[in-house]
Structure 1
Amino acid sequence: MSNEQQIGLYETGIHPCSYIPGKDAATQFLDPRLRIGADIAEQLAQLGFRRSGEHTYRPHCPGCNACIPLRVRVQDFQPNRTQRKVLNRNQDVGLEITEPAVTLEYYRLYRRYINQRHQDGDMFPPTAKQYADFLAVDSGYTKFWEFREKDQLLGIAVTDHFQEALSAVYSYYIPDQAYSRRSLGVYFVLRQIMAAKDLGYPYLYLGYLIRECRKMSYKTDFPPLEQLVGHQWQNL
């Protein structure tokens, strides 16, 4: 695949935007029956596409370019003072990389996370089927990064493993105030950056930045970042 003209795409109808009130949205997506490998998935990421369950998509909204694809230049990344503290606070955390799965332990934590953190989002209320369709899809290049403190499951980072990059798909973790000092969401991104750097990869894809959406603002805390503007990646 040398360019996006070779990709067969579908497009949704116009619908209300989930992120910016009063805006209309539309989405381009690949036929979910089409099985692609990590190499094609990586090329699609370079064109601004993301994966959610079996759907590979990108925003194609009329008169709006608020969704900005982001990626971290991992080889140039250096954790700041706050991020170094987060790494130190989580030195007791173990990581195991596993295949996507639906287990009672995984789902219970996901349900707890959505119920406490995202009652205003599209994933509320959570169900086991939603969890399976959204996160536990075996793409052939997706892994669950399982973080534990001894026997306690702290969270899961769903990560796509491309040939020369990683892509942070979604993370969920213990939402209780007692664990807030660990800053688990930040820690998961830092571990993904560190892994990509160790593998010699140039990038970790972070999905979309929407400046009007406060919940996405954390993504700008991992410079140096590149943004896709038109068809060119450039420094944020």
Structure 2
Amino acid sequence: MELAMELVRMNIRLYLSSEQTCNYLEQEESRSLFVDPAIKINSSLISQLSQNGFRRNGSLLYRPHCNHCNKCMSCRVICRDFKPSNSQKKILRKAKLLDWKLVPMKFTQEHYYLYQKYIEARHIDGDMYPASEQQYQSFLICGDIPQLLLEIRTSEGLLICGAAVDCLDDGFSAVYSYFDPDFSQLSLGKLIILRLIEHCQSSQLAYVYLGYWIENCRKMAYKKNYPPMEFFNRKQWISEPVNHNADMDL
């Protein structure tokens, strides 16, 4: 209950959504706990909430809060102890001629066109299609918190990958990544995570937060490939994801 007491002290309200069909688990109902959207999001707040299993989507901070299921677990990589696997070393070798850097988050047509190409190639059947400039900005850019944009370019300077990253007190939160489908053989989604881990290691930052992981969900299986990791079970961070019946404690 420490988080709930701190939010009360800060005069921050939480709202519980109504139940709706789960996007990840068939025959399940889901609902989420939202931080009052009128609250200004700053670095301290988003860091504290991330440490308590919350996630950012645009200007909204939320956490799954389902009645009978606790399978959506926030996960984070323990960067200090991470060592790439053989397959991840292969990805890094393939990327040795690619340039990458972290730049301030801002809207550019170059990044938007890449995002649009990615959505049209990979998510034409999803609620993010069709892409628009307004959607891109409202989804990824939140000016009240420190953010960075990870860029990956070819040696000729062609932008082939981008990732929006929130800067936390103890590391990075990977918000969303997009890449040129013509370069999918380079495993750019995996490369982004590896580069973020590398940067945290060199900067002595503890964690890369990867959002929510669900056991037996194919779309999220990749998130467990960066051990050692920790998973938040609504009360504490644990080294192994163990599903418990959901409870109502914050």
TM range (shorter): over 0.9
- Given candidates 3, 8, 17, the residue that maps to 1:12 is 17
Could you tell me which residue of structure 1 aligns to residue 196 of structure 2?
192
- The answer (yes or no) to whether the contact 1:14–1:26 under 8 Å persists in 2 is yes
1:121 offset after TM fit, Å?
2.8
Could you tell me which residue of structure 2 aligns to residue 215 of structure 1?
219
Could you tell me which residue of structure 1 aligns to residue 245 of structure 2?
none
Alpha-carbon distance in 2 for matches of 1:57, 1:148 = 32
1:4 offset after TM fit, Å?
2.8
- The answer (yes or no) to whether the contact 1:4–1:47 under 8 Å persists in 2 is no
RMSD of Structure 2 on Structure 1 (CA): 1.7
- The answer (yes or no) to whether the contact 2:52–2:234 under 8 Å persists in 1 is no
- Given candidates 85, 88, 96, the residue that maps to 2:90 is 85
Alpha-carbon distance in 2 for matches of 1:214, 1:119 = 19
Gap change, CA 1:125 and 1:23, over 3 Å in 2:
farther
Does residue 130 in structure 1 map to residue 135 in structure 2? yes
Alpha-carbon distance in 2 for matches of 1:78, 1:93 = 21
1:20 offset after TM fit, Å?
1.9
Alpha-carbon distance in 2 for matches of 1:44, 1:102 = 26
66-75 or 92-101, larger mean C-alpha shift: 92-101
Gap change, CA 1:139 and 1:175, over 3 Å in 2:
farther
Could you tell me which residue of structure 2 aligns to residue 166 of structure 1?
172
- Taking only the aligned residue pairs, the percentage that are identical comes to 37
- The answer (yes or no) to whether the contact 1:110–1:173 under 8 Å persists in 2 is yes
* Counterpart residue identity of residue 201, structure 2: K
- Given candidates 91, 105, 111, the residue that maps to 2:116 is 111
Alpha-carbon distance in 1 for matches of 2:5, 2:172 = 25
The 3-state SS of whatever aligns with 2:169 is coil
* Counterpart residue identity of residue 39, structure 1: S
Could you tell me which residue of structure 2 aligns to residue 37 of structure 1?
42
Could you tell me the TM-score, scaled by structure 2's length?
0.88
The 3-state SS of whatever aligns with 1:33 is coil
Could you tell me which residue of structure 2 aligns to residue 61 of structure 1?
66
Structure 2: segments with no counterpart, 5+ residues: 8-12, 241-250
- The answer (yes or no) to whether the contact 1:100–1:135 under 8 Å persists in 2 is no
Alpha-carbon distance in 2 for matches of 1:212, 1:223 = 17
1:211 offset after TM fit, Å?
2.2
Alpha-carbon distance in 2 for matches of 1:199, 1:97 = 13
1:99 offset after TM fit, Å?
2.4
Structure 1: segments with no counterpart, 5+ residues: none
The 3-state SS of whatever aligns with 2:87 is helix
Alpha-carbon distance in 1 for matches of 2:126, 2:196 = 25
1:33 offset after TM fit, Å?
2.3
Cα deviation, 1:184-219, whole Å, max 9, x if unaligned, reads: 001000000011111111211111002242111110
* Counterpart residue identity of residue 42, structure 1: S
Alpha-carbon distance in 2 for matches of 1:47, 1:154 = 33
Could you tell me which residue of structure 2 aligns to residue 3 of structure 1?
3
The 3-state SS of whatever aligns with 1:3 is helix
1:141 offset after TM fit, Å?
1.2
Does residue 205 in structure 1 map to residue 191 in structure 2? no
Cα deviation, 1:137-169, whole Å, max 9, x if unaligned, reads: 223211111211132101111111112211111
Does residue 102 in structure 1 map to residue 118 in structure 2? no
53-62 or 31-40, larger mean C-alpha shift: 31-40
